Amino acid sequence: MTESIDVAVIGAGAMGAAAAWHLARGGVSIEVFEQFEPGHAHGASHGTTRNFNVSYDEPGYLAWLRDARGLWRELEAESGLPLLTTSGIVNHGPARDLALVAAAIRAGGFAADILPADEAARRWPGFRFEGDVLYTPDAGRLDPAAAVRALLDGAAARGAAVSWRTPVTDLRILDDDRVQFTVDGVDGARTIRARRVVVAAGAWSTSLIGRIAGTALPTLRVTQEQPAHFAVRDESLEWPGFNHGPAADDPATAWFPTGVYGMLSPGEGVKAGWHAAGPEIDPDRRSYIPDPALTAAIVRYAREWLPGVDPDSFTETTCTYTSTPDSRFFLDRIGPVVIGAGFSGHGFKFTPVIGRVLAGLAQRD
């Protein structure tokens, strides 16, 4: 027997949850299908911290960040959960012209200050700085696990159904207003037809919709990343989030595999990780074991650049990045199928705006 629903959302991570929230707020009847259990650690939306980084020099991204900040606050008010903490972020390193970035940030509606290294070190002694520092006081950190929970709870309160441990297979477009797929949940296999489907499947995007999307879908590279939480030496220190970019002609940073990001994770320590440096993987065959060379490199980074932490006292976790060749997001509709993919390790801060875009695409005639 084939069931019929109006709109299906495949994937209950950040982007799928945000699309469901917006669709449900618009009065759309939806069901969300997620292959894993609530709060799972197999994708890119788990854990307690992500940077709300505003250090972009493109007006479009900055406009989205202004909207995202408002939507995060709206979700906080609705859910009663603290989601966005304005802790500020420091950016340093020779990789970017910080003065130009600061000018773009100010033009985009956020505060930005350039501080000399000695002043920044006095203010934030947990860091070592060489050269000027770009400080963005409007930036901060997000709680991803709480955010996903708030989005799904908000959607469910408006009538959305969420089916956990229910993988989707055999997704096919039947015509302009019908998509058929199979789900295999706790109650057995079901065949479902939907008027619209929103696919936000993260690392599983290509295997699920690659055949449907064809050449419209960019090549998506899935990697396993491995941030570490370092113990803090002095609990009284102030810790803004941070981004540190290397340059090949700078001896102090040329050894970095990639740029570094991080932030304080309350109760866990100072989080630091390499951005998109991990090995390419199949998400169904992950080892969940950190790469020892990258571990050694982040420990060296902590020893050289984070005097406020104990570099020998740390715990690691793993997550996935699903990246496009140019790190831009893929948001499109192919017939009745809406696709959100390729968030390239910097999409989380935009989550409620991306959800709005996906919901809009699904509601378009």
pLDDT digits (tens, 9 = 90+) for 259-280: 999 999 999 999 999 999 999 9
* Rounded Cα–Cα distance for residues 268 and 230 (Å): 8
How much of the chain, in percent, has pLDDT values that exceed 70? 100
d(CA 57, CA 298): 27
Tens digit of pLDDT for each residue in 157-169?
999 999 999 999 9
Q: Reply yes or no on whether the pLDDT at 319 is more than 80.
A: yes
Q: Where are the domains of the chain?
A: 1-48+143-219+325-365, 85-140+221-323
* Of the options 3.40.50.720, 3.30.9.10, 3.30.565.10, 3.40.50.10280, the CATH number for the domain spanning 85-140+221-323: 3.30.9.10
76's CB contacts (< 8 A; 6+ apart) are 82, 83, 84, 150
Mean pLDDT rounded to a whole number for the chain: 97
- Could you give the percent of the chain with pLDDT greater than 90? 96
Give, for 150, the enclosing helix (H) or strand (E).
helix 144-157
Q: How confident is the model at residue 215 (pLDDT cuts 50, 70, 90)?
A: confident
Query: pLDDT (tens digit, 9 = 90+) per residue, 41-84?
Result: 999 999 999 999 999 999 999 999 999 999 999 999 999 999 99
Q: How many residues does the chain have?
A: 365
**Per-residue pLDDT at 112:** 98
Specify the fold of 1-48+143-219+325-365: FAD/NAD(P)-binding domain (3.50.50)
Handedness of CA 244, 249, 251, 255 (dihedral sign): positive
The reply to whether domains 1-48+143-219+325-365 and 85-140+221-323 share a CATH topology is no
pLDDT at 185: 80
